[in-house]
Amino acid sequence: MKSTLLDLPLQPDDQRKSTFQTILSTPSLVAGGIMLVLLIGLAVLAPVISPYQPSEQNLYAFLKPPSAEHWLGTDQLGRDVFSRLIYAARSDLKIMVLAEIIPFCTGVFLGMLAGYYGKWVDSVISLVTDTFIAFPFYLIVIIVAFASGAGQRGIYITFILVGWIVFARVTRGLSASFRKQEWIASAQTLGLSGVRIILRHLLPNVLPQAVVVLMTDMVGLLVAIVTLGYLGIGIAPPTPDWGTMIADGQSFITTAWWLSAVPGFAVVYTGIALSLTGDGLADLWRRK
Amino acid sequence: MSTLFSSLRKSFLVGPLALVLLVIVAGCSGSNTGSSPNSAASPSQSADGGKPATGGTFTYGRPAAVNSFDLHNQITSNNAFAIDKVFEPLVAFDNKGEIVDWLSKSHNISKDGLTYTFVLRDGLKFSNGTEVTAQDAVFSIERHLKVGGPLAIAAQVVSVKAQDAKTLVITLKEPYTPFISELSNFSNGIIPNNFGGVSEEEFLKKPIGTGPFVVEKWDPAGDVTFTKNTNYWQEGKPYIDKLVYKLIEDDSQAINQLKAGEVDAIESLALQNANELKAGTATAVLTNGSWVTEQLFFNTLDQHFSDVHVRRALALAIDRNGLTQALTFGFAKPANSLLPPAIPYNTNDTIKALNYDVNEAKAELAKSKFPSGFSTKLLIASGNSARAQEAQIIQNAAKSIGINIEIETVELATFRERFFKYDFAAMLNSGQADSPEANSILAFQTDPNGFSKSYWTHYTNEEVTKLLYEGQKTPDGESRGEIYAKLQQILADEVPYIPLYFPDILVGARSSVNGLVVLPNGSLRFEDVQLKK
Amino acid sequence: MSASPILEVEELSLAAGSKTLVSGVGFSLDRGESLGLVGESGSGKSLTLRAILGLLPRGVEQVGGTIKSEVRAAMIFQDPRKSLDPLCPVVRQVEEVVYYRQQVSRKAARTIALELLEMLGLPDSLKQTDRYPSQLSGGQCQRIVIAIALACKPGILLCDEPTTALDVTVQQQILATITRLQQELDFAMVFVTHNLAIAATLCSKLCVMKQGSIVEHGDALSLLQHPQHPYTQMLIDSVLPLPELEGSASV
Amino acid sequence: MMKSNTEIKPSVTLDSSRRWLTQALLRAALVVICVVTAVFFLIRIVPGDPAKMILGEYSTPEAIASMHHTLGLDLPIGDQYLRFVRNLVTHGDTGASIISGTSARELIADRAPVTLLLIVMASFLAILLSLLLAMLAATNKDKLLDHLIRIFPTITLGMPVFWVGLLLILLFGVRLRWFPVGGVGEGWTGMLHSLILPAITVAFTQIPTLVRSLRAQMLEVLESDFLVTLKAAGIPSRVILLRHVLRNSALPTLMLLGVNISYLIGGTLVVEQVFGIKGIGSLLFSSISKRDFPVIQGIALYCAIAVVIISLLVEMASWWLDPRTKGKQ
Quote the pLDDT of residue C193. 83
Question: Pick from A55, A150, A251: which is nearest to B1 by CB?
Answer: A251
Over residues A102-128, mean pLDDT: 89
Please tell me if residue D288 touches chain A, with a CB cutoff of 8 Å. Answer: yes
- Nearest-CA distance D231 → chain C (Å): 8
In a domain, residue A66? The reply is no
Question: Pick from A139, A230, A275: which is nearest to D266 by CB?
Answer: A139
pLDDT in tens, D4-52: 445 555 555 566 777 888 888 998 999 999 999 888 887 676 656 667 6
Within 8 A of B422 by CB-CB distance, chain D residues are 58
- Assess whether C86 and C114 both reside in one domain: yes
Question: ipTM exceeding 0.95?
Answer: no
- Assess whether C46 and C169 both reside in one domain: yes
Q: What percent of chain C has pLDDT above 90?
A: 0
| Confidence category of residue C72, pLDDT binned at 50, 70, 90 | confident
- Assess whether C136 and C175 both reside in one domain: no
Please tell me if residue D235 touches chain C, with a CB cutoff of 8 Å. Answer: yes
| Confidence category of residue B328, pLDDT binned at 50, 70, 90 | confident
In a domain, residue A65? The reply is no
CB D312 within 8 A of CB D28: yes
Residues 91-150 of D with CB under 8 A from A: none
Please tell me if residue B3 touches chain A, with a CB cutoff of 8 Å. Answer: yes
pLDDT exceeds 90 at position B374: yes
- Nearest-CA distance B424 → chain A (Å): 16
CB B503 within 8 A of CB B332: yes
Please tell me if residue D42 touches chain A, with a CB cutoff of 8 Å. Answer: yes
Q: Shortest CA distance to A87 belongs to which of A56, A24, A43?
A: A43
pLDDT in tens, D125-153: 988 888 888 888 888 877 888 888 888 88
Q: How many domains in chain A?
A: 1
Quote the pLDDT of residue C71. 79
In a domain, residue C168? The reply is yes
- Assess whether C167 and C147 both reside in one domain: no
In a domain, residue C114? The reply is yes
Which of A104-118, B34-48, B479-493, D202-216: highest mean pLDDT?
Answer: B479-493
Within 8 A of D304 by CB-CB distance, chain A residues are 131, 134-136
- Assess whether C148 and C161 both reside in one domain: no
Structural domain of A174 = 28-47+71-287
Quote the pLDDT of residue C248. 42
In a domain, residue C217? The reply is yes
In a domain, residue C249? The reply is no
pLDDT exceeds 80 at position B77: yes
- Assess whether C160 and C236 both reside in one domain: yes
Please tell me if residue D234 touches chain C, with a CB cutoff of 8 Å. Answer: yes
Which chain C residue has its CA at the smallest distance from D243's CA?
C88
| Confidence category of residue C63, pLDDT binned at 50, 70, 90 | confident
In a domain, residue C87? The reply is yes
Within 8 A of B3 by CB-CB distance, chain A residues are 230-232, 247
Quote the pLDDT of residue D14. 60
Are A and B close enough to touch, i.e. 3+ CB pairs under 8 angstroms?
A: yes
- Assess whether C104 and C47 both reside in one domain: no
- Assess whether C95 and C131 both reside in one domain: yes
Please tell me if residue B382 touches chain A, with a CB cutoff of 8 Å. Answer: yes
pLDDT exceeds 60 at position B19: no
pLDDT exceeds 90 at position C51: no
Q: Which of B107-111, B143-147, B363-367, D89-93 has the lowest mean pLDDT?
A: D89-93
Over residues B361-378, mean pLDDT: 94
Reduced to 3 states (helix: H, G, I; strand: E, B; else coil), residue C66 is strand
Question: Pick from A59, A233, A247: which is nearest to B323 by CB?
Answer: A59
Which of A146-155, C115-124, D316-325: highest mean pLDDT?
Answer: C115-124
Are A and C close enough to touch, i.e. 3+ CB pairs under 8 angstroms?
A: no
Q: How far apart are CA B62 and CA B248, in angstroms?
A: 6
Q: How many domains in chain C?
A: 2
| Confidence category of residue B74, pLDDT binned at 50, 70, 90 | confident
Q: Which of B143-147, C247-251, D69-73 has the lowest mean pLDDT?
A: C247-251
Quote the pLDDT of residue D153. 81
In a domain, residue A231? The reply is yes
In a domain, residue A91? The reply is yes
What is the residue-averaged pLDDT of chain D? 80
Question: Pick from A127, A138, A267: which is nearest to D270 by CB?
Answer: A138
Structural domain of C120 = 81-153
Which chain A residue has its CA at the smallest distance from D306's CA?
A134
Residues 305-324 of B with CB under 8 A from A: 319, 321-323
pLDDT exceeds 50 at position C249: no
Quote the pLDDT of residue B38. 38
In a domain, residue C88? The reply is yes
Quote the pLDDT of residue A239. 86
pLDDT exceeds 60 at position A10: no
- Assess whether C51 and C30 both reside in one domain: yes
Q: Residue C204: which CATH number?
A: 3.40.50.300
Within 8 A of A144 by CB-CB distance, chain D residues are 45-46
Quote the pLDDT of residue B14. 30
Interface B-D, measured as beta-carbon pairs within 8 A, has a size of 60
Quote the pLDDT of residue B33. 32
Within 8 A of C180 by CB-CB distance, chain D residues are 1-2
Over residues A239-268, mean pLDDT: 85
Quote the pLDDT of residue A126. 87
Quote the pLDDT of residue C240. 53
Question: Pick from D27, D166, D263: which is nearest to A136 by CB?
Answer: D263
Q: SS3 for chain A, per residue?
A: CHHHHHHCCCCCHHHHHHHHHHHHCCHHHHHHHHHHHHHHHHHHCHHHHCCCCCCCCCCCCCCCCCCCCCCCCECCCCCEHHHHHHHHHHHHHHHHHHHHHHHHHHHHHHHHHHHHHCHHHHHHHHHHHHHHHHCCHHHHHHHHHHHCCCCHHHHHHHHHHHCHHHHHHHHHHHHHHHHCCHHHHHHHHCCCCHHHHHHHHHHHHHHHHHHHHHHHHHHHHHHHHHHHHHHCCCCCCCCCCHHHHHHHHHHHCCCCCHHHHHHHHHHHHHHHHHHHHHHHHHHHHHHC
In a domain, residue C248? The reply is no
**Chain-chain contact of A142 with D46 (C-beta, under 8 angstroms):** no
| Residues 6+ positions from A133 with CB-CB distance below 8 Å | A165, D262, D307
pLDDT in tens, B416-468: 778 888 889 999 998 888 888 999 899 889 988 877 788 889 999 999 999 99
| Residues 6+ positions from A128 with CB-CB distance below 8 Å | D34
Within 8 A of A59 by CB-CB distance, chain B residues are 319, 321-323, 325-326, 393
**Chain-chain contact of A131 with D31 (C-beta, under 8 angstroms):** yes
Quote the pLDDT of residue A288. 65
Ordered structural domains, chain B, with CATH:
292-503 (3.10.105.10)
Over residues B73-90, mean pLDDT: 90
Residue of D181, D278, D283 to mutate, testing the B interface (most B Cβ within 10 Å of its Cβ): D181
- Assess whether C62 and C166 both reside in one domain: yes
| Confidence category of residue B487, pLDDT binned at 50, 70, 90 | very high
pTM across the whole model: 0.76
**Chain-chain contact of A230 with B4 (C-beta, under 8 angstroms):** yes
- Assess whether C186 and C90 both reside in one domain: no
CB D142 within 8 A of CB A206: no
Quote the pLDDT of residue B460. 92
Q: Which chains touch B (3 or more CB pairs under 8 A)?
A: A, D
Q: What is the DSSP string of C88-115?
A: S-HHHHHHHHHHHHH---HHHHHHHHHH
Residue with more model confidence, B5 or C40: C40
pLDDT exceeds 60 at position D230: yes
Q: How far apart are CA C191 and CA C197, in angstroms?
A: 12
| Residues 6+ positions from A26 with CB-CB distance below 8 Å | A280, A283, A284
- Nearest-CA distance D61 → chain B (Å): 15
Of the three residues C123, C153, C183, the one that is the final residue of a domain is: C153
Over residues B168-196, mean pLDDT: 93
Q: How far apart are CA D200 and CA D125, in angstroms?
A: 7
Residue with more model confidence, A118 or B23: A118
Quote the pLDDT of residue B240. 94
Q: Residue A196: which CATH number?
A: 1.10.3720.10
Within 8 A of D231 by CB-CB distance, chain C residues are 55
- Assess whether C175 and C236 both reside in one domain: yes
